[in-house]
Copies of this chain bind each other. A is one copy, B any other.
């Protein structure tokens, strides 16, 4: 069965982690876990200041080459009646604002990220050339194992 519309809205606003699926240059599917925030009509995920693996900016290169992405939110636990997932199919674009804190589109995204993730008090939200990926939602699919799988608080 599907998640309720209320659950979907709640998860898009509050769930802390998603997996970003993109298309790699060699035609392979690429996946990476990301933090994200909903701001306006889009979902935004920053390339933040945490240490990265060498190839990590693959996500940025992939999106520049092909905007087709998916964002997967899900929950696993041993009680399989509690399983659910939510997948956003979207179109992504890379933003490199020159002055992010003053950018009228970007500043609210940074504020929303800092509100959702108190970790950004210690972790630099932006480093080097500021990079954020904006995902415009094209479709939302969901599944849950049972009505009690997810209940918005």
Q: A80-B50, A143-B52, A143-B56 are in contact. Are A29 and B22 (CB under 8 A)?
A: yes
The oligomer's copy count stands at 2
A32 touches B78 (CB 8 A): no
- Does the CB pair A70–B29 fall under 8 Å? yes
State the interface size on chain A (CB cutoff 8 A): 39
A66 — nearest CB in chain B belongs to which residue?
B27
Contact B30 A76 (CB under 8 A): no
Partner-B contacts on A (CB < 8 A): 1-2, 16-17, 19, 21-23, 27-33, 50-53, 55-56, 68-70, 72, 74, 76, 78, 80, 83, 85, 87, 89, 119, 123, 141-143, 145
